[in-house]
Structure 1
Amino acid sequence: MATDMTRSPTSHEGRIIAFPAATGTANIERCARELGRRHGADALEFWKAECRRFADQLLAAGVPESEVGQRVMQFQEDVQTELVLSHEKRAVSKSQKR
């Protein structure tokens, strides 16, 4: 599920900004798995912490504040998509075993 958010370094105002590697596909899949296992307040706290950590990584990497919100929103969308796909895969697998 590579998106603009998970691509390699970006250029901004002539500078190369290293993109945090942990925010790629593996991180999206990890977050989706964790959210699939957690419920209620536990899931919400985990999700808030992950989004905050992602935003902090972006800021530390030099991504302008004006872009951080957009990238966090894209990350959230990517994780949601991964959650839906993983649920669909499990449902298909279950139905094929019947």
Structure 2
Amino acid sequence: MTRSAAAKSPAGALHFFPISQRSDVVRQAARELDSHNGQAALDFWKNKCRALGAELTARGCAEDEMRAQIMDFQAAVQAELLELHHQRMVEG
């Protein structure tokens, strides 16, 4: 995440650009997750979510907002995985 991903509001609170809206991060995570199976997939997923959470926290994101962002990211990756699989079915 770049410094431009966070902006100060007039009240001084930081607002972070939602990770779930960063299509490059979502697509990459979905493709990488799809390339793993079983425990390797679980390990990859845990590490990815923890790393994103740590990045947000290090940049000053409040824990409740960080958790909400990670949940939204997880949903976005799931939707991307469904789209990947749908494309494969269509392509044969």
TM above 0.5: yes
Work out whether 1:9 is the aligned partner of 2:6. Answer: yes
* Stretch deviating more after TM superposition (76-85 or 62-71): 62-71
1:14 aligned counterpart, secondary structure: coil
> In the aligned structure 2, how far is the partner of 1:68 from the partner of 1:17?
11
Q: CA offsets per residue over residues 41-75 of structure 1, 9 Å max, x none?
A: 00000000000001001101111112111100000
Equivalence for 1:52: 50
Identity, in percent, stands at 35
> In the aligned structure 1, how far is the partner of 2:55 from the partner of 2:41?
21
Between the two proteins, the alignment pairs up a number of residues equal to: 86
Equivalence for 2:84: 86
Q: Is the 8 A contact 2:14 2:61 kept in 1?
A: no
Equivalence for 2:22: 24
RMSD of aligned alpha carbons? 2.3
Rate the CA distance shift 1:19–1:61 in 2: closer, same or farther, 3 A: farther
Task: Give 4+ residue runs of structure 1 displaced > 3 Å after superposition.
Answer: 8-13, 15-21
Unaligned runs of 5+ in 2: none
Calculate the TM-score normalised by the size of structure 1.
0.76
After TM superposition, give the deviation of residue 76 of structure 1 in Å: 0.4
Q: Is the 8 A contact 2:14 2:60 kept in 1?
A: no
> In the aligned structure 2, how far is the partner of 1:38 from the partner of 1:88?
18
Work out whether 1:35 is the aligned partner of 2:33. Answer: yes
2:61 aligned counterpart, secondary structure: coil
Q: Is the 8 A contact 1:19 1:58 kept in 2?
A: no
1:88 aligned counterpart, secondary structure: helix
